[in-house]
Amino acid sequence: MTNGYEYEVSPILLVDLSLLTMLLVVAIAMLRSRHLFAVVMLSGIYSLLSAAFFVSLDAVDVAFTEAAVGAGVSTVLMLAGMLLTARREKPFESRRVPVARIAVFATGAALIYATIDMPGFGDPNAPANAYVGQAYVERTPSDIAVPNIVTAVLASYRGFDTLGEVLVVFTAGLAVLLLLGVGSARGGREVSDVDEESP
């Protein structure tokens, strides 16, 4: 590469590859399973895997949010929703699927095509690292005086943005609680070890 940045095969790269492979396998298993509880547990595992992947990308804050929200809160919320509806997904008709499938594949192909234009991973000349990001790195020690630059960006430089995000998340949580009902979140439900469909 001309910008002096190139890959080297490190142990972390192999860890990343195995993590991404497990992510793919879990995603396919979630798609194929009709047992909703298994899907909920697999989505928790998916969140844990992607959190580990984010840590290996040095995005610790994102990873922490993913583990807390993805593996913790959303698993419990999906369980609450599942227990209010059914434990198995209904078999679906495969008549009208092709339109949706074509749309999904076209969107995915467009997104993959768009990644060709993206700068290399960790490229110092990328727009994300060059302009305002560089200013954050240079000015955080004198402006904010906290060691973690991400925290400075989130809580100070983009404080209003973070406030809006927190508001959105809080509203969404309130709406989910209103939909599910507060009583559903406490107390046990009667479930069995074995599938009820196969006595």
Quote the least distance from Cβ 13 to other proteins, whole Å. 11
Site for other proteins in 64-123 (CB under 8 A): 64, 67-68, 71-72, 75-76, 79-80, 83
Q: CB neighbours (10 Å) of residue 155? A: 14
The span of 7-15, 114-122, 123-131, 163-171 binding other proteins (CB under 8 A) equals: 7-15
Residue 75 vs 162, nearer CB to other proteins: 75
Which DSSP string do the residues of 89-100 spell out, in sequence order?
PPPPPSSSHHHH
Q: Which of 189, 170, 174 is nearest to 79 (CA)?
A: 189
Structure-token match 């844990």, residue found: 48
By CB under 8 A, tell whether 190 contacts other proteins: yes
In order of 6, 57, 198, the CA distances from 13 in angstroms are: 13, 10, 44
Number of residues that bind other proteins (CB under 8 A): 41
Rule CB under 8 A: choose which of 4, 91, 187, 199 binds other proteins: 187
Overall residue count recorded for the chain in this entry: 199
Q: Which of 70, 68, 11, 2 is nearest to 41 (CA)?
A: 70
Contacting residues toward other proteins, per CB under 8 A: 11-12, 15, 18, 22, 25-26, 29, 37-38, 41-42, 44-45, 48-49, 51-52, 55-56, 60, 63-64, 67-68, 71-72, 75-76, 79-80, 83, 186-194
